[in-house]
Structure 1
Amino acid sequence: MSVDVLIVNHNELARDIEDAYESGEPLFVWGRTGIGKSYTIRETATALAAKYDRKFTTSLSKIDGEHFFLLDRRLTYMNPTDILGVLYKDNGVSKWHYPDWLWKISKQREEEEGIEIRGIVALEELNLAPPLVQNAAYELVLDHRVQDLEIAEGVVFVAAGNVNEDRAFTYELPDPLKTRFTHVELAIPVFKHPTKREGWFYWATEKGVDGRITTFLSYREDMLFNYIEDARVFPTPRGWEKASKLMKGKPDETAWRAVAKACGTFAGEQFRQFMELTRKVNIEELLNDPKKFLELDVANKFAAIAAMTSAFSKVPELGEKLLKFAAHLFTGIYDGKLREYLTLLEEYTSTRDESTARALREMRGKERLPEFAVLVLTNMKAHDREITQKVVQESVYGNVLVDLLPFFT
């Protein structure tokens, strides 16, 4: 991680990209491979499209006065002429023939067609591009033009590049090009912030990443990003997202292969062992007697959550029982007194009496496990959002878990 560049998280990066667009100042986003640089650029561009009341597009053919575009230019695949264009002779006079994509985002096109162009050009892998390509990009970024072709004022350049730790055979940017950009470095995302609803876990839940993955990583947070030198593939946030897509509909016995392909065999083997633990879980016993959950070691606790919520994906009728189980974990009440707690909670909901609130706090047991209650809810949501929300709204146990809703909705 660099000491001379501002380190930001994903939310901060989104704000920085928006600032870059609004100010017209080019931004360079540094960061490790597979942690979400390109994804955040795209998400921010989508948000900017909504802000300017435009449709979002990544299509060159749809760059017009109605769309806000994100144009991905992978500079490692480009030649200098792909940026600058080529010279041709017209009646003995040399003239520039500009690339089509450059004309599409030009001020001259705006004037000719009477439109206002808005969007972001993402110069991906800029520091992987050979020096000649970087030099071609220099004029484009520095002067917002190439020769006589000016770039529209509503177009901003955001570059992205890997850091030296990725061993990606990067080229040093020339100082004049460096100083044309403002710079930030995207930090490797935390899996789950201890006190805020921040981290990859919540993003993954929102995007429907397989609950088996989020539960495994809740147990092994170190595996979210685990760089292995000389490995051809290693765990990254992008890799886990790919694994989730690959294992969709796959049984627990073979789901590990998706992880091995997307995150490497070491991660695949760790995931396989974890899934073996889930197959040993007696789901019915734990749901009927939640106190037995306390007797499990940490690995088996996470495996039990994975097994129960995976069963919910096949048998949605388990939703009420899982909510009751989560209520036990959240309150630390593992016997019939949970009913008394519910009655008292109903009273507090209608009266907001401080003495009732104090009585509720005093009823909560010492062996509370709210973090596992959150995991139950978020995994249920990942498996079936609609059914989970319906169960939470209709169940009496939904009231018990109201304090967890900011982490769940």
Structure 2
Amino acid sequence: MIPSHIATALLSLIPIGRPVFLWGPPGVGKSQVVAQAAAALGRELTDIRAVLLDPVDLRGLPAIGDDGRCHWRPPAFLPTRGQGVLFLDELNAAPPLVQAACYQLILDRRLGEYALPDGWSVVAAGNREQDRAVTHRMPTALANRMVHLDFETCLEDWLAWAKKAALRPEVTAFVRFRPALLHDFDPARAERAFPSPRTWQFVSDILCAAPPAEVEYDLLRGTVGEGAAAEFTGFLRVWRELPDTDAVLGAPHSAPVPSDPAAVYAICEALARKAARDTMPALAGYAARLPVEFGVLLMRDALRQDKTMAHTEAFAAWARDNAHVLV
């Protein structure tokens, strides 16, 4: 399932308290989708890394109560009130004894004397066995009590998230140009770094830090791997030589149109971020000079930036002229 479908499924499953397990390779954004679903439902999120726990951590410590009997004091990270999502990340990477300690919490919503409040739901996540991550086979008794969802990457979903997260435009333009590199993970390759939704966010952060030119490539290679870093570095050279967007908007009918597809992707990404009512006539004029597929790309991204642009006369005129490709 793509991330937007996973999020929709969680919005249905969390309110009814049905336990969920998200399966997916490293770096695809499983934890972010859970956080977004919890926020959309207005619920608190408690993120517990099961792999860091010992079996006794969940049950707590024994203490003598006022009645003279031994009672278990649950850990402070377990909720006691309100509504929320208890997220057990990397559950199948935890040792079998820790997974066993989660049985009662997931299946019966209890741990000894502790009871999970009615307004809380359990969501777990982990890598697949074929990903060569540290995993332990999930016991069938536990697996049979959960809804299992397989996580896949999706370019459009990632682009929508990247816009909200304010990732650098050169990063999103490159991934749009080379969508296969959004997530290029092969467990058979012994690579320490590989491109993924997570590591492209790291790349955006690195570019924001403006590292010196002599170390930029090494930083990129250490983040997304050598092959992706080499391609992205070449794309950056194209990006940094693009005509100024203000100059293009100032003379949309005479500004140069790049011939390199990578450069056209780049200029479309940069121009779309300038979308506004006063710039739409220039954007539409420039889009009309681009190859038709890139013109559609530019105008679609402009609408993603500001949906009200669809009501401008400039956009309406461009849409009429290109109705044959918009059907």
- Between the aligned partners of 2:146 and 2:129, the Cα distance in structure 1 is 19
Structure 1 residue 291: Cα displacement: 8.5
In structure 2, relative to structure 1, the CA distance for the partners of 1:249 and 1:142 (3 Å cut) is: closer
**Contact kept in structure 1, 2:303 and 2:310, CA below 8 Å:** no
Distance change (3 Å), C-alpha of 1:389 and 1:10: closer
Q: Partner of 1:152 in structure 2?
A: 117
Classify 1:122/1:308 alpha carbon distance in 2 versus 1 (closer, same or farther; 3 Å).
closer
For structure 1, the 5+ residue unaligned runs are 1-7, 50-67, 111-116, 193-198, 330-367, 405-409
Q: TM-score, normalised by structure 2?
A: 0.81
* Aligned counterpart, 2:155: 191
Superposition deviation, residue 310 in structure 1: 4.6
What is the deviation of 1:325? 0.8
The aligned residue for residue 190 of structure 2 is 230
- Counterparts of 1:110-129 in structure 2 under 5 Å? 117-129=82-94
For 2:218 and 2:163, locate their aligned partners in 1 and report how far apart those are by CA, in whole Å. Answer: 21
Q: Which residue of 2 aligns with 1:88?
A: 63
Q: Which has the higher helix share?
A: 1
Q: Distance in 2 between matches of 1:81 and 1:208?
A: 41
Q: Residues 255-404 of structure 1 correspond to what in structure 2 (within 5 A)?
A: 259-279=220-240, 287-289=252-254, 293=258, 296=259, 300-307=260-267, 310=270, 321-329=282-290, 368-375=291-298, 378=301, 397-401=314-318
The C-alpha deviation readout for 1:150-182, integer Å capped at 9, x for no partner, is 221111100011112321120111111111211
**Aligned residue among 35, 38, 63 for 2:31:** 38
Matched letter for residue 152 of structure 1: P
User: Paired residues, what number?
Assistant: 311
Query: Please, which moves more after superposition, 369-378 or 14-23?
Result: 369-378
Tell me the amino acid that sits aligned with residue 17 of structure 1: L
Task: Determine helix, strand or coil for the equivalent of 1:180.
Answer: coil
Q: Residues of 2 paired with 1:191 and 1:137: CA distance? A: 34
Structure 1 374/27 Cα, relative in aligned 2: closer, same or farther at 3 Å?
same
**Alpha-carbon offset, residue 43 of structure 1:** 0.6
Aligned to 2:51: 76
Shift of 1:17: 1.3
Residue identity opposite 1:216 in structure 2: F
- Which of 143, 151, 163 is 1:205 aligned to? 163
TM-fit CA distance, 1:71:
0.4
- The 3 A distance-change label for structure 1 pair 92 and 167 is same
2:116 partner letter: I
Report the RMSD for the aligned CA atoms in angstroms.
3.5
Identical residues among aligned pairs (%): 26
User: Over residues 8-37 of structure 1, what are the superposed CA-to-partner deviations in whole Å (9 max), with x where a residue is unaligned?
Assistant: 221221122122222211111111111111
Distance 1:28 1:327 in 2: 47
Larger Rg: 1 or 2?
Answer: 1
Which whole-Å deviations, capped at 9, do the CAs of 1:213-245 have from their partners, x for residues lacking one?
Answer: 122122211111111521111000111122112
Deviations 1:196-223 (A, max 9, x none): xxx3233323433222112212221111
Task: Indicate conservation of the 8 Å contact 2:50/2:89, yes or no.
Answer: yes
2:3–2:154 contact (8 Å) kept in structure 1: no
For the 8 Å contact 2:268–2:294, the answer to whether it is kept is no
Q: Offset of 1:87 from its aligned partner?
A: 2.4
Higher mean alpha-carbon deviation, 300-309 vs 213-222, is at 300-309
Distance in 2 (CA, whole Å) between partners of 1:281 and 1:238 is: 27
Residue pair 1:127, 1:172 contacting (<8 A) in 2 also:
yes
The answer on whether the counterparts of 1:215 and 1:375 sit within 8 Å (CA) in structure 2 is: no
Offset, 1:260: 3.0
Matched, 1:161 2:126: yes
Asked if the contact 1:326/1:377 (under 8 Å) is kept, the reply is: no
Q: TM-score, length-normalised on structure 1?
A: 0.66
Asked whether the 8 Å contact 1:215–1:303 carries over to 2, the reply is: no
Asked if 1 retains the 8 angstrom alpha-carbon contact of 2:50 and 2:94, the reply is yes
Structure 2 CA distance for aligned equivalents of residues 377 and 12 of structure 1: 22
The answer on whether the counterparts of 2:284 and 2:314 sit within 8 Å (CA) in structure 1 is: yes
Equivalent of residue 101 in structure 1, options 77, 87, 98: 77
Change in CA separation of 1:311 and 1:118 when aligned onto 2, cut-off 3 Å: closer
